[in-house]
């Protein structure tokens, strides 16, 4: 047996023979499970008889999508080109007062050309579109988004609304063109119909010969952040937009028959509008000579959790992690400081004089125990917690298995690292109470301040640099730049990628352990 | 009682960590308030006094450590046997310690909160502020008549939030004393107190169900206690009602501690 | 201050204490009294219930049944308990960051005493020069002195000292013995728990020997020694020809015969004899003088004749033999050696 293995074994014996520590480790897991399975939240999904089940359309990539828009279209076969000029884009947004909508455009209001495999929700598509505040875009299959020129017909109206209008592109009407060649779709734009700029191309694999091609307008759920002093909150609601099109022309191999108006996703029932929100009842298609005016509401985009979406994400079932974390921190810290209580450290160091080795063995023991506790608890919660919520009629966003595995392992890692951080601080400070407080203040307080008090900017900064960054490991749903939403921690979104967040915590732990090891060497036992 | 109080006062006074701990409390409280006040970009109509008292969120952790240590340290060193031998009436020991906590925390908290009010007054921009972003545009009109940027803001000073914050910190100190006495361990005690102060609000924020959220908010010691900081009355918890609920928490913890202390072998 | 001695009532009375910790019986009818003007030794094997008894007297633990009274009152009813009983239980029980003087100062304040009394006891215990050092840095011996200073603080008529000699250097031990004697001479009652029987033998007037949670013996030291020594004498007979320098082998062979002869003579003389196994005999029932006369009359030579002077240790070991549950056959003069005493 190597020296380290012997020390490891000694520390393990030390840990498992203190009943309080073993019980606390079990309690860590039990608390996480209890918080995950307590049937707190209620919803109406599937509770009001058949047909009330909450289900979102699923896109070609397998993810859930929003797919509601006003469409002016016709089926076209083979390859061809469609061109249109978007003359104007106006809209209505929810205001602070829910009964008083104000004029303005949501940043991701869209009006443009849309080519789809079909009008079934979730079907494959490509669109060239002007937007409320993000210029011209080529978007396809819900998750892909290519930027064209900034500016566009929506810009003059956005100056006092959504903010962040870049303003470098020309405002005013915009010409759009969409061309199909086999399963490749190319998008182009022009300020005047003469000078064309290519935006990019999209490949829609397995696209049928006959597709739906036409004009569309849609305007997503609008959400804004409010700060009333320290209370920050969100408000939101459906928005609507009206696009005015002219110079509509079909060319290439396409031969038009008759245009057909449609409101896709607009015929939602009572449960449906809770689900997909943006049906405002104002959807319409108007055609006066050459001019087509579409009013639409909704979005063609991946579905998100939060103010702009609905339901909850898997991360919300893991709220017990915070409680478990406190227990893990206390155990980790006391495992270190108990040595100093009655001079046990002298016995320990006589038995194994390698001080760094003792610290490493302790870290390995407490880390492994907490990892095991976290792994078991998170696995139970991830598997059963969503079932409980769904049983209560709450819509829980499905999460890919790989993400679930990452969340389970991540929760375990979070507990283990927090316990090791506390161990390092405990060894360094030799005072249980100070070390526990410091560990909790470092790991939990940043998250608390970020979800309750701080405005978005400082909150995101705090969640990039503090050990709380590692909560990113629990993020269940990805953040999409092309969907306006409050991507806040309270909704389960973190500023760092999961592994980057983990890296931040690991760095903190490494520094704490290194300083503790140094102190252990420098000072007398 | 006079003797016991004097003894506990001497004990606290001569404990080397205590004065630096209270100084730390003042420093971190004022520092966080200053950081928030300096970086905040409050919307018009924002609750400036509350914003300036953000430091209490951090200061309460140090107060919790203080409250926990007053009793926890005795258990850690075994000194508690000497204390109880000198004063066999154990409830009296607890009462004397509570009195010491009240006195010292109130003094330190007064300094800290005064510091917060001062930095709030100096650093928080005046209510009018410059409208930023789309959101503020709607409300900007309300305060447009007082555009005095970069001047000390009288809006940031209010009496109830400040006095309430001092009382809040005192009550957190008492709660910590009660918890630590009940569990006989500083580390475990501070873990429990900080779980109540920090984790409960997180659970409250993350729990999406509004009913549960309201119940948790109306029960959690931090949320009810800090309601006193709101300049405009919180619709769910009145400022003094909230502090009253926190009093119940503190008294409950101390009662449990007194009963356990009297019943248990030391 | 001089306290009325001997005539006075007991200062501590312990009556029928019972206490269980889970499945373990710690105290099983503990009963004794501590009288003024005496040093009462309190001895017993580990786990016999000494510390538990002291903790119950001091109100730290509660007895299941029975009572412990200090000056006729339960400890917890005393208003200024340190003026009734001074105690030292655990010398390391102090705030390590506080100075020795400040430690005593808060204790003094709790009894309504002032800083002057603190300086007096610091002087008495020889800690004046270390008074402003952090107590956490003290050696065990100095902590014991500080603990004794705390016990003396209220100038109490009764003192309870648990293992006060632990960690003290020889000089400190001498000082403490003198101190304890002088406290008793003042008329104070001192209950002194210790494992060091030799220390107790010299300073205790009385001993309370406990085992398995109850009192095994409660007697004056002198009486106890008399009962224990029981007039035993060790005799080492030798063969006649070996006297005056025979070879070792011859002596051993002849010695066996000499033992038999001597045993017969002494038994005839009315003694009871036990071979000790090392060539000597332990004789009871006959005085040393009678044995010498008998052996001389029968012409049995002997090289050693020792009358036992029983030590407190012997008494203790004999009394606690049952209590430590050691069942090996008793060996002649040593009784039982509780090497594994718990």
Averaged in consecutive runs of 10 residues, what is the pLDDT profile of chain C (342 residues)? 56 92 89 92 87 92 92 90 92 85 93 92 93 89 93 94 89 92 93 82 88 87 72 76 48 62 84 80 81 84 78 75 50 40 36
Residue B90 has pLDDT above 80, yes or no: yes
Looking at residue B177, its pLDDT comes to 96
Interface partners of chain C (CB pairs < 8 Å, 3 or more) are B
Tokens of A424: 């390092």
> Cα separations (Å) of B258 from B39, B90, B96, C99?
45, 7, 12, 29
- pLDDT at position A165 over 60: no
Chain C residue whose CA is closest to B83: C107
pLDDT above 60: residue A161: no
Whether pLDDT at A210 is above 80: yes
Residue B161 CA to its chain's centroid (Å): 12
Q: CB–CB of C190/C39 below 8 Å? A: yes
Radius of gyration, CA atoms only, chain C? 25
Nearest partner of A336 among A348, A353, A326, A325, judged by Cα: A348
CB atoms within 10 A of CB A468: 27
Q: Tell the burial category of B123 from Cβ atoms under 10 Å away from its Cβ (0-12, 13-18, 19+).
A: buried
A41 CB within 8 Å of a chain B CB: yes
Which domains does chain A carry? 3-42+312-522 (no CATH), 65-302 (2.60.120)
C213-256 confidence digits (pLDDT tens): 889 888 888 787 776 656 678 888 876 654 444 455 444 545 55
Give the percent of chain A with pLDDT over 70.
Answer: 84
Is the pLDDT reported for residue A473 higher than 60? Answer: yes
Of A225, A229, A337, the CB nearest to B51: A229
Q: Nearest CA of chain B to the CA of C235: how many Å?
A: 53
pLDDT tens, position by position, B157-207: 678 889 999 999 999 999 999 999 999 988 899 999 999 998 888 888 777
Q: How far is C107 from chain B (nearest CA, A)?
A: 6
Residue A162, pLDDT > 70, answer no
Laid out side by side, the sheet with C233-237 consists of: C272-275, C281-284, C233-237, C302-307
Does residue B26 fall inside a structural domain? yes
* CB-neighbour burial class of residue A497 (10 A; exposed 0-12, middle 13-18, buried 19+): middle
To test the contact with chain C by mutation, choose from B4, B86, B96, B260 the residue with the greatest count of C C-beta atoms within 10 A, namely B86
**Closest CA in chain B for residue A311:** B208
CB contact under 8 Å between B3 and C109, yes or no, is yes
Q: Is there a domain that residue B135 lies in?
A: no
Closest CA to C224 of C320, C140, C147, C143: C320
Q: Which residues contact A44 (CB under 8 A, 6 or more apart)?
A: A52, A271, A274, A393
pLDDT category at A233 given cuts 50, 70, 90 is: low
pTM of the model: 0.77
Per-residue confidence band for A97, with pLDDT thresholds at 50, 70 and 90: low
More confident residue, B238 or B75: B75
A182-to-A77, A185, C158 alpha-carbon distances in Å = 10, 8, 106
pLDDT above 70 (res A524): yes
pLDDT of residue A371: 96
pLDDT of residue A225: 62
A327·B230 Cβ contact <8 A: no
pLDDT for residue A301: 86
Whether chain B has a CB inside 8 Å of the CB on A322: the answer is: yes
Q: Does residue B145 lie in a domain region?
A: no
Domain contains B253 = yes
For residues A347 and A125, the model is more confident at A125
Q: What is the pLDDT of residue A268?
A: 45
- As a whole number of angstroms, the distance between CA A283 and CA C284 comes to 121
Tell me what the mean pLDDT of segment B42-70 comes to.
83
Residues 323-342 of A with CB under 8 A from B: 323, 325-327, 329-330, 333-334, 337, 341
Write out chain B residues lying below 8 Å of C102, CB-based. 10, 14
Q: Which residues of chain C lie closer than 8 angstroms to B75, CB-CB?
A: none
CB contact under 8 A, C110 and B3: yes
State mean pLDDT over A80-84.
92
Task: Name the 3-class secondary structure at B140.
Answer: helix
CA distance B254 to chain C (A): 20
**Are B194 and A326 a contacting pair at CB < 8 A?**
yes
pLDDT digits (tens, 9 = 90+) for A1-30: 688 888 888 889 989 988 889 999 999 999
ipTM of the complex: 0.81
Nearest by Cα to B57 from B29, B30, B35, B37: B29
B 65-124 residues with CB below 8 A of A?
65, 68-69, 72, 76
Please give, rounded to a whole number of angstroms, the shortest distance from the CA of A433 to a CA of chain B: 4
Of B8, B77, B88, the CB nearest to C76: B88
Tokens of C181: 């004697």
Long-range contact list for B122-126, CB < 8 A, 24+ apart?
B122/B37, B122/B152, B123/B34, B123/B37, B123/B38, B124/B37, B124/B40, B124/B42, B124/B48, B124/B51, B124/B52, B124/B153, B124/B155, B124/B156, B125/B41, B125/B42, B125/B149, B125/B150, B125/B153, B126/B150, B126/B151, B126/B153, B126/B155
Average pLDDT over residues A302-328: 79
Residue B172: inside a domain, yes or no? Answer: yes
Q: What pLDDT was estimated at residue C305?
A: 81
Query: What's the pLDDT at A525?
Result: 64
Residue A414: predicted pLDDT: 94
Average pLDDT along chain A: 82
Q: pLDDT band for A299, please (50, 70, 90 cuts).
A: confident
Tokens of B197: 């102060």
Domain that holds residue B100: 2-130+156-263
Question: What chain A residue is nearest to B63 in terms of C-alpha separation?
Answer: A437
Comparing A329 with C237, which gets the higher pLDDT?
A: A329
Q: Do C106 and B7 touch (CB under 8 A)?
A: yes
Q: For position B165, what pLDDT does the model report? A: 94
User: Is the pLDDT reported for residue B153 higher than 60?
Assistant: no
Q: What is the pLDDT of residue B63?
A: 96
Model pLDDT for residues A426-445, shown as the tens digit of each residue: 999 888 888 999 999 999 88
Say how many domains are in chain B.
Answer: 1
Nearest-Å Rg of the Cα atoms of chain A is: 28
Residue A279, pLDDT score? 47
pLDDT the model gives residue A432: 83
Non-local (6+) Cβ contacts of C318 within 8 A are: C228, C335, C336
Residue B67 lies in a domain: yes
Most confident of A482-486, B51-55, B127-131: B51-55
Q: Classify residue B220: in a domain, yes or no.
A: yes
- Torsions phi, psi for C300 (to 5 deg): -95, 115
- Whole-angstrom distance, CA of residue C247 vs CA of residue C244: 10
C-beta atoms of C106 and B73 within 8 A: no
Kind of pairing, strands C158-162 and C189-193?
parallel
Task: Pick the residue of A229, A312, A446, A474 with the most B CBs within 10 A to test the interface with B by mutation.
Answer: A229
Band of the pLDDT at A40, cuts 50, 70, 90? low
Using a CB-CB distance cutoff of 8 angstroms, which residues of chain B are in contact with residue C93? 77-82
Chain C residues whose CB is inside 8 A of the B16 CB are 97-98, 134
- Residues belonging to chain B with any Cβ–Cβ distance to chain C shorter than 8 Å: 3-4, 6-11, 14-17, 73-74, 77-89, 265-266
Per-residue pLDDT, averaged over A391-409, amounts to 84
Please count the residue pairs, one from chain A and one from chain B, whose beta carbons lie less than 8 angstroms apart: 144
């Amino acid at each position: 047996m190597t020296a380290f293995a012997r020390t490891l074994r000694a520390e393990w014996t030390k840990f498992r023979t203190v009943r309080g520590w073993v019980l606390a480790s079990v309690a860590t897991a039990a608390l996480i499970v209890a918080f995950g399975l307590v049937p707190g939240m209620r919803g109406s999904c599937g509770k009001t008889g058949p047909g009330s089940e909450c289900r979102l359309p699923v896109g070609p990539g397998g993810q859930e999508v929003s797919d509601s828009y006003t469409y002016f279209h016709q089926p076209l076969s083979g390859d061809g080109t469609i061109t249109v000029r978007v003359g104007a884009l106006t809209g209505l947004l929810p205001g602070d007062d829910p009964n008083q909508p104000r004029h303005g455009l949501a940043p991701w209001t869209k009006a443009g050309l849309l080519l789809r495999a079909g009008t079934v929700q979730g079907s494959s598509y490509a669109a060239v579109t002007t937007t409320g505040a993000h210029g011209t875009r080529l978007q396809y299959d819900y998750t892909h988004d290519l930027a064209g020129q900034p500016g566009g017909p929506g810009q003059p109206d956005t100056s006092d609304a959504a903010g962040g209008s870049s303003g470098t592109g020309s405002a005013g009407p915009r010409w759009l063109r969409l061309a199909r060649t086999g399963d490749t779709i190319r998008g182009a734009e022009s300020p005047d119909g003469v000078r064309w700029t290519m935006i990019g191309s999209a490949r829609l694999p397995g696209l049928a010969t006959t597709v739906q091609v036409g004009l569309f307008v849609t305007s997503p759920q609008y959400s804004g952040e409010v700060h009333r002093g320290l209370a920050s909150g969100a408000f939101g609601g459906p928005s609507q937009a009206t696009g005015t099109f002219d110079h509509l022309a079909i060319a290439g191999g396409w031969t038009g028959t008759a245009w057909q108006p449609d409101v896709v996703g607009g015929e939602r029932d009572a449960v449906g509008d809770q689900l997909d929100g943006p049906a405002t009842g104002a959807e319409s298609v108007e055609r006066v000579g050459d001019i087509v005016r579409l009013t639409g509401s909704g979005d063609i985009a991946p579905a998100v959790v939060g103010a702009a979406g609905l339901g909850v994400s898997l991360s919300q079932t893991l709220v017990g992690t915070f409680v478990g974390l406190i227990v893990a921190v206390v155990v980790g810290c006391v495992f270190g400081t108990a040595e100093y209580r009655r001079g046990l450290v002298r016995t320990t160091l006589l038995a194994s004089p390698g001080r760094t080795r003792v610290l490493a063995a302790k870290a390995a023991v407490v880390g492994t125990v907490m990892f095991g506790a976290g792994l078991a608890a998170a696995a139970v919660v991830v598997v059963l917690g969503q079932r409980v919520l769904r049983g209560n009629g709450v819509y829980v966003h499905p999460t890919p298995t790989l993400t679930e595995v990452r969340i389970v392992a991540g929760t375990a890692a979070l507990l283990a690292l927090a316990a090791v951080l506390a161990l390092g601080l405990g060894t360094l400070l030799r005072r249980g109470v100070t070390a526990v407080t410091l560990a909790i203040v470092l790991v939990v307080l940043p998250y608390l301040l970020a979800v309750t008090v701080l405005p978005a900017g400082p909150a995101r900064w705090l969640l990039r640099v503090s050990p709380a960054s590692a909560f990113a490991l629990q993020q269940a749903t990805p953040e999409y730049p092309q969907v306006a939403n409050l991507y806040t921690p309270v909704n389960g979104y973190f500023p760092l990628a999961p592994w980057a967040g983990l890296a931040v915590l690991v760095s903190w732990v490494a520094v704490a352990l290194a300083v503790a090891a140094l102190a252990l060497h420098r000072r007398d036992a | 009682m006079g003797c016991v109080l004097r003894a506990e006062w001497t004990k606290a006074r001569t404990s080397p960590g205590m004065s630096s701990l209270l100084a730390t409390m003042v420093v971190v409280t004022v520092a966080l308030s200053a950081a928030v006040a300096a970086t905040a970009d409050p919307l018009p109509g924002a609750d400036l006094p509350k914003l300036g008292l953000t430091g209490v969120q951090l200061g309460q952790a140090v107060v919790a450590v203080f409250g926990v240590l007053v009793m926890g340290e005795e258990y850690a060193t075994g000194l508690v046997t000497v204390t109880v031998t000198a004063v066999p009436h154990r409830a009296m020991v607890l009462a004397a310690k509570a009195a010491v906590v009240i006195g010292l925390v109130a003094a330190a908290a007064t300094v800290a909160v005064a510091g917060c009010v001062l930095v709030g007054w100096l650093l928080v921009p005046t209510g009018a502020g410059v409208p930023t972003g789309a959101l503020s545009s709607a409300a900007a009109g309300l305060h447009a008549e007082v555009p005095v940027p970069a001047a000390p803001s009288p809006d940031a000073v209010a009496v109830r939030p400040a006095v309430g914050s001092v009382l809040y910190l005192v009550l957190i100190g008492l709660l910590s004393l009660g918890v630590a006495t009940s569990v006989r361990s500083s580390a475990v005690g501070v873990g429990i107190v900080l779980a109540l102060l920090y984790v409960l609000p997180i659970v409250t924020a993350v729990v999406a169900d509004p009913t549960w959220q309201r119940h948790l908010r109306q029960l959690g010691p931090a949320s009810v206690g800090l309601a006193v900081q709101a300049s405009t009355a919180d619709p769910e918890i009145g400022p003094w009602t909230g502090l009253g609920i926190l009093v119940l928490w503190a008294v409950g913890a101390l009662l449990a501690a007194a009963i356990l202390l009297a019943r248990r072998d030391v | 201050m001089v306290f009325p001695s001997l005539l006075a009532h007991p200062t501590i009375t312990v009556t029928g204490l019972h206490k269980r910790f889970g499945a373990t019986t710690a105290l099983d009818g503990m009963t004794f009294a501590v009288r003024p003007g005496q040093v009462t030794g309190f001895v017993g094997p580990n786990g016999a219930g000494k510390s538990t008894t002291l903790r119950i007297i001091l109100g730290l633990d509660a007895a299941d049944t029975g009572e412990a009274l200090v000056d006729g009152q339960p400890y917890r009813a005393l208003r200024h308990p340190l003026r009734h009983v001074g105690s030292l239980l655990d010398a390391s029980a102090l705030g390590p960051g506080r100075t020795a003087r400040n430690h005593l100062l808060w204790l003094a304040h709790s009894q309504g005493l002032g800083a002057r009394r603190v300086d007096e006891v610091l002087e008495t215990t020889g800690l004046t020069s270390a008074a402003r050092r952090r107590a956490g840095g003290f050696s065990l011996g100095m902590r014991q002195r500080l603990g004794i200073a705390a016990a003396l603080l209220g100038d109490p008529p009764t003192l309870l000292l648990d293992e006060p000699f632990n960690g003290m250097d020889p000089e400190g031990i001498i000082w403490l013995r003198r101190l304890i004697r002088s406290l008793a001479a003042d008329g104070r009652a001192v209950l002194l728990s210790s494992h060091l029987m030799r220390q107790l033998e010299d300073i205790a007037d009385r001993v309370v020997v406990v085992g398995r949670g109850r009192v095994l013996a409660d007697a004056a030291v002198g009486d106890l020694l008399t009962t224990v020594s029981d007039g035993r004498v060790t005799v080492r007979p030798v063969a006649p020809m070996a006297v005056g320098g025979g070879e070792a082998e011859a002596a051993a062979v002849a010695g066996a015969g000499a033992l038999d002869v001597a045993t017969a003579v002494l038994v005839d003389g009315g003694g009871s004899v036990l071979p000790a196994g090392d060539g000597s005999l332990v004789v009871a029932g006959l005085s040393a003088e009678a044995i010498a006369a008998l052996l001389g009359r029968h012409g049995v030579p002997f090289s050693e004749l020792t009358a036992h002077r029983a030590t407190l240790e012997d008494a203790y070991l004999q009394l606690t033999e049952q209590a430590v549950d050691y069942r090996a056959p008793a060996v002649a003069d040593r009784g039982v050696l509780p090497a594994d005493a718990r």
